[in-house]
Amino acid sequence: MPDPAAALGIFMLVVVVLAFFFWPDRGMVARAYRLLGDTRRVRLEDALKHIYMCGRRGRSCNMESLAGYLGVSVGKAAEVLRVLVETELVDSEVAGPVLTEEGRRVAVRLVRTHRLWERYLADRTGVPAGEWHAHAERVEHALSEEEVDDLEHRLGFPRWDPHGDPIPTSGGDLPPLRGGSLWDAPEESTVEVLHVEDEPPELYEDLVARGMTPGVRLRVIERNSRGVTVGMDGDVWTLDPVGAHNLTVRELPPGTAAEERGRTLRDLVLGEAAEVVGIAPWCQGTQRRRLLDLGVVKGTVITPELVGASGDPVAYRIRGALVALRGDQAGYVVVDG
């Protein structure tokens, strides 16, 4: 005769297993369906954003470009486009897909969320610049319009993201695109960097490491089949054609000087006082906020007084307090002289 206790135990185990998989809203099957639904929604939204950005940049959008952007086969991209047409978010035309008014509204919301989140990461966190884009790619699908409006308010209604891209307003307004590619800049001209393309991440990180951020001025020395040679503060680099096309610039009036970083705190000797001129534009995020919180603003007089045994860090007298700064941090602070 079966043991009643054992039978009850087996019954309870079966109930627990069934509940684990099939419990409404929280079971594994329900979670799997939600995940599939979220993945499908994200793919549809990514497609809308791609179509929007193609139109914004004056590029044609076709099935191959859509498939490449989504990382799927051309057949899967065609299925995505079919759903967008059926839901009246996209019109299929001979020249390529075109967003409807509602499709554009959704796409602009995604772009707005993405760029505001990158601004947040740059200004309020220590997330490395090369990781901003990937973070924003995920968050753009998760925040509600109310949360995005609140984020914009807390950031002080910024107009540009850290790469130099304009941030759409809550009404979806965007200024016209500015400037052109560095590749097209004339030789012997001085240009200001307006935008640094953030993909691929490796190239973006390399450009930023060289100090090429929005607001920096470059001297265009030469352009040939190998790339564009530019100068800044005595340094000269040759950017290959891909790198040159990833920088959007505007030509400055003839006679405008290229970027001169000048002296920094790192150049001072012990006991030498100097007045702060500013903080380098490529210093962003928590690094910049920390320097500002320490009182490193234009007009502040700073003196190096102590140096570590290895030469780094150095203790600087800032507004009556001794503050230790590493060499890379001191190199952000431009001083007179």
Query: How confident is the model over 241-266, as pLDDT tens digits?
Result: 999 999 999 999 987 777 665 688 88
Which residue, 163, 176, 157, is CA-closest to 216? 163
Query: What is the pLDDT, as a whole number, of residue 34?
Result: 40
Query: How many other CB atoms are there within 10 angstroms of residue 265's CB atom?
Result: 23
DSSP state of 265: G
Average pLDDT, the chain: 83
Query: Domains along the chain?
Result: 28-99 (1.10.10.10), 180-251 (2.30.30.90), 263-335 (2.30.30.90)
What are the pLDDT digits (tens) for 262-278? 688 888 889 999 998 88
18-49 burial code (b ≥16 CB/10 A, e <16)? eeeeeeeeeeeeeeeeeeeeeeeebbbbbbbb
Query: What is the pLDDT, as a whole number, of residue 33?
Result: 37
Strand 263-264 relative to strand 235-239: parallel, antiparallel, unpaired? unpaired
Angle between helices 74-86 and 28-56 (to 10 degrees): 90
pLDDT band at 151 (very low <50, low <70, confident <90, very high): very high
Query: What is the pLDDT, as a whole number, of residue 10?
Result: 63
* % of the chain beyond a pLDDT of 70: 86
Strand 227-232 relative to strand 217-224: parallel, antiparallel, unpaired? antiparallel
What are the pLDDT digits (tens) for 102-146? 999 999 999 999 999 999 988 888 787 788 888 999 999 999 999
